[in-house]
Amino acid sequence: MAGKYPTSPLAPAAFPALPVIDGVRFATAAAGVKYQGRTDVMLAALDAGTTMAGVFTRSKTRSAPVLDCQDKIGQDGDGPAAIVVNSGNSNAFTGKNGIEATRAVTSAAAKALGLEEARVFSSSTGVIGEPLPHARITAKLDELADALSATGIEEAARAIMTTDTFPKGASAEVMVDGKPVKIAGIAKGSGMIAPDMATMLVYIFTDAKVERSVLQDMLSALTDVTFNCITVDSDTSTSDTLLLAATGKSGAEVGPENTAFIEALRGVMLDLSHQVVKDGEGATKFVEIHVSGAASDEDAKVHAMAIANSPLIKTAVAGEDPNWGRVVMAIGKSGAAADRDLLTIRFGDVLVAENGWVSPDYREEQGAAIMKEQEIAISVDLGLGGGTATVWTCDLTHGYISINADYRS
Amino acid sequence: MAGKYPTSPLAPAAFPALPVIDGVRFATAAAGVKYQGRTDVMLAALDAGTTMAGVFTRSKTRSAPVLDCQDKIGQDGDGPAAIVVNSGNSNAFTGKNGIEATRAVTSAAAKALGLEEARVFSSSTGVIGEPLPHARITAKLDELADALSATGIEEAARAIMTTDTFPKGASAEVMVDGKPVKIAGIAKGSGMIAPDMATMLVYIFTDAKVERSVLQDMLSALTDVTFNCITVDSDTSTSDTLLLAATGKSGAEVGPENTAFIEALRGVMLDLSHQVVKDGEGATKFVEIHVSGAASDEDAKVHAMAIANSPLIKTAVAGEDPNWGRVVMAIGKSGAAADRDLLTIRFGDVLVAENGWVSPDYREEQGAAIMKEQEIAISVDLGLGGGTATVWTCDLTHGYISINADYRS
């Protein structure tokens, strides 16, 4: 599983150098939840003064830790807090035992760190339906509490990986009231990625001081244009969780209208979401799909996601085939408004089709050259209105089949 | 393409012996539309007295021949008629030229057979967006008209194939008012298969005498529980067409309440729709998904299709992995009503999960044994109400990627 597959060709050259976020410390351990010979638990401790926001999967079969996190995230408070994450077992569809397992972990973490259990947020990722061996995790919590370090974020990114082929991190720095504010985040996820979140766990930290409700509004709005605009395989996980913690240690107060901070946070979220797509199971190409001219923004997203999720388009991209006919097919099936004879389709900057047919100047070699690139843009204009959307996906290759046909065996 | 891939392991042992339908004759030719060394045009001539019904793709980018057929199918009339089909080129997204190409074919067929152009129905299947070389087809029409034969239905089934690995036929016989009535049908389709029809062309013939509007109502109702309940890859074609011709030659009149005839027709449609799934690109397993206990029939179908279209479930089936957690995931993401703790999941007859967790008696070997079968049933009960649905799909394998990553090259 982890380490079993070669690193994605779309992976960045190296894990980025992430800034230390004052008020956040990390520790990791190899608890043997499922994997052997690697870390599989990470603890993040957050100092007093921290506000928290979160977004979660909308799955109706969401996991025990997601339900627990959702209960806690809306509560006011800025006392010390913690995040505990394990990989290898998602503690999803585990019935009443699942809730007890989550409580065992969060209460042990609260005790080890000396904080309220209501301020301990946990996530689990991995196989569904198997009991979480929580005692293996709780047995490590004192050791984890003793090992906390301000510089442990890269190790944290590694400990939460499942089928990921590379750890994912991103950061930004922005000036607020003359003070430098830092943002750093990590993510995991490579399959079961679709809107309404995905098999994604994302943890973002900032030393900005942000009121809880403001932080939550920012996070929710930015999720709609970042993590909810990516898809690998249209499948949605039971466990998706994105937590954002603001420690306030920079002393810089950020309000709801601080566009510089919002833009910086958006950049970190977009970067992490793109890294998740680039680690899409079996991915060899990164595809940006831009739809304009739709009757509404909602329609534009429906069309964009129909293109992004079409197995026939994703296999054409894998085969470097500029098969724009399949784009026409996806627009036709999406259910959103379209007029065949007003469509304009571009691969990269190349005009491929317009006025209901292939463009008279288009030559197959032009499209073929675009498709050989590692990052490909497909643009569709509907010619109907002002609605736009941009989403990101990857190709569908033999690698996806290999990874998912034997995940548990 | 055709003949390039090995015959599906799910194919029937041989093409079935189909009865001759009095009033229908077939001819085929190798017109070289795109393929070399095989037939690619079929003509079916229907005697005077024939009523016609049809259902078509709901794609908003439907092809020129579909638009032409839809215009014609609602017109009353029982004069002689014809169906002309070519494979290799779908004449879809070909603008104004596409309409002209369709008219060229239908008017030439009308002339060759001496009938009204309004009674000539045409279909085209194959690549999207390339001009249909209609002159190659029209050049063959006199030859086709001369070669018409009552026993040519198997050759017709072969001429309409694209990526199909076997020709598809089915038949039934039923007594109406003491007279034997025959039904025989052929189909093509193996990819881009999803509800609201698929890349499917289906032609069914009967010697029953059925009023046009009655025939249309029967066909529309039965399509909802047969062809609209199958999916290979969730993609919907621009060209799907199902035509049903009733020649009346048996002299047996069939009214709207004739359940024996309706049941026989349903059987032929279900058989053909299952054959299309069994020829799903790269398919090695045939999967029936049955959902019960849903809040409504509509909800049941949403859940069933979410399971049938999930790449993670389809790859698990390919890998013979009884990964019921992915079924929980698909139910959770479908958007229809579900309660995690009321779900019951069965693989074949084996109870896998109930009450929000794996069944205490379930052993992985039981599920694994079921998954080794070539035909697999997955049943989910929601525990919420009386809604039910059954849909059919196939697994997602390396074969699908191979076929679709190089379709045009």
* Residue A409, annotated as binding a ligand: yes
Distance in angstroms (rounded) separating the CA atoms of residues A320 and A373: 9
Residue B396 to residue A397, Cβ atoms within 8 A: no
* Distance set, CA B9 to CA A383, B317, B374 (Å): 45, 15, 9
Of B95, B135, B186, B50, which Cα lies nearest the Cα of A328?
Answer: B95
Measured in angstroms, the CA of A178 and the nearest CA of chain B are apart by: 45
Residue B235 to residue A94, Cβ atoms within 8 A: no
Q: What one-character DSSP code corresponds to residue A198? A: B
Catalytic member of A125, A163, A199, A388:
A199
Alpha-carbon torsion A186, A191, A195, A197, what sign? negative
Measured in angstroms, the CA of A154 and the nearest CA of chain B are apart by: 29
pLDDT value for B384:
96
What SS3 state is found at B224? helix
B236 to chain A: which residues are within 8 Å by CB? Answer: 329, 332-333
The strand order across the sheet containing A168-176 reads A51-56, A241-246, A201-206, A179-188, A168-176
* Residue A97, annotated as binding a ligand: no
pLDDT value for A409:
37
Residue B61 to residue A309, Cβ atoms within 8 A: no
Mutate to test the interface with A, among B235, B305, B345 (most CBs of A within 10 A): B235
CB B260 within 8 A of CB B174: yes
The strand order across the sheet containing B51-56 reads B51-56, B241-246, B201-206, B179-188, B168-176
Mutate to test the interface with A, among B59, B127, B351 (most CBs of A within 10 A): B59
Residue B405 to residue A321, Cβ atoms within 8 A: yes
Q: Is the pLDDT of residue A4 over 70?
A: no
Which residue numbers in chain B have pLDDT < 70?
1-4, 191-199, 233-237, 406-409
Residue B319 to residue A406, Cβ atoms within 8 A: yes
Distance in angstroms (rounded) separating the CA atoms of residues B43 and B109: 9
pLDDT confidence of A145, banded at 50, 70, 90?
very high
Residue A128 to residue B326, Cβ atoms within 8 A: yes
Q: Which of A238, A340, A358 sits opposite B329 (nearest CB)?
A: A238
Q: Which of B233, B329, B409 sits opposite A311 (nearest CB)?
A: B233
B196 to chain A: which residues are within 8 Å by CB? Answer: 333
Superfamily of domain A24-276 in CATH is L-amino peptidase D-ALA esterase/amidase (3.60.70.12)
Whole-number mean pLDDT of chain A? 90
* Residue B409, annotated as binding a ligand: yes
Residue B312 to residue A405, Cβ atoms within 8 A: no
CB A91 within 8 A of CB A132: yes
Q: What is the pLDDT of residues A188-239, one digit of tens each?
A: 987 655 444 346 888 999 999 999 999 999 999 998 888 888 877 666 667 7
Distance in angstroms (rounded) separating the CA atoms of residues B390 and B270: 12
Of B135, B137, B33, which Cα lies nearest the Cα of B87?
Answer: B33
* Residue B199, annotated as binding a ligand: yes
Of A152, A226, A221, which Cα lies nearest the Cα of A186?
Answer: A152
Of A107, A86, A72, which Cα lies nearest the Cα of A159?
Answer: A86
Residue B312 to residue A397, Cβ atoms within 8 A: no
| H or E element, residue B154 | helix B153-159
Searching chain B, which residue's CA lies closest to the CA of residue A336? B60
B60 to chain A: which residues are within 8 Å by CB? Answer: 331-333, 337-340
Q: Which of B92, B93, B328 sits opposite A93 (nearest CB)?
A: B328
A388 in catalytic set: no
A–B CB contacts, 8 A cutoff, strictly below: 216
Where would I find the beta strands (DSSP E) of B14-114?
24-29, 41-46, 51-56, 81-89
Query: Average of pLDDT values for A143-162?
Result: 96
- Tokens at A387, concatenated: 């609605």
The backbone region for A282, taken as left when phi is positive above 0, alpha when psi lies in -120 to 50, beta otherwise, is: left
Measured in angstroms, the CA of B402 and the nearest CA of chain A are apart by: 8
Residues 6+ apart with CB under 8 A from A203: A44, A83, A85, A156, A185, A186, A187, A242, A243, A245
CB B234 within 8 A of CB B391: no
Q: Give residue limits of the domains in chain A.
A: 24-276, 286-405
Measured in angstroms, the CA of A251 and the nearest CA of chain B are apart by: 41
Searching chain B, which residue's CA lies closest to the CA of residue A409? B321
Measured in angstroms, the CA of B62 and the nearest CA of chain A are apart by: 7
CB A121 within 8 A of CB A54: yes
Distance in angstroms (rounded) separating the CA atoms of residues B366 and A358: 53
* Residue A50, annotated as binding a ligand: no
Residue B93 to residue A357, Cβ atoms within 8 A: yes
Residue B333 to residue A235, Cβ atoms within 8 A: yes
Q: Which of B94, B340, B409 sits opposite A357 (nearest CB)?
A: B94
Searching chain B, which residue's CA lies closest to the CA of residue A92? B325
Distance in angstroms (rounded) separating the CA atoms of residues B105 and B128: 18
Q: What is the pLDDT of residues A255-266, one digit of tens each?
A: 999 999 999 999
A355 to chain B: which residues are within 8 Å by CB? Answer: 95
A384 to chain B: which residues are within 8 Å by CB? Answer: none
Distance in angstroms (rounded) separating the CA atoms of residues B174 and A396: 46
Distance in angstroms (rounded) separating the CA atoms of residues A63 and A99: 9
Measured in angstroms, the CA of B131 and the nearest CA of chain A are apart by: 9
Of B196, B207, B223, B212, which Cα lies nearest the Cα of B74?
Answer: B212
Answer whether CATH 3.40.50.300 is correct for domain A286-405: no
Fold of B24-278: L-amino peptidase D-ALA esterase/amidase (3.60.70)
Q: Which of B237, B401, B407 sits opposite A401 (nearest CB)?
A: B401
* Residue B281, annotated as binding a ligand: yes
Distance in angstroms (rounded) separating the CA atoms of residues B392 and A243: 39
Of A81, A92, A83, A147, which Cα lies nearest the Cα of A114?
Answer: A81
pLDDT value for B227:
85
Measured in angstroms, the CA of A371 and the nearest CA of chain B are apart by: 12
| H or E element, residue B263 | helix B259-278
Residue B312 to residue A235, Cβ atoms within 8 A: yes
Q: How many CB atoms lie within 10 A of CB A257?
A: 8
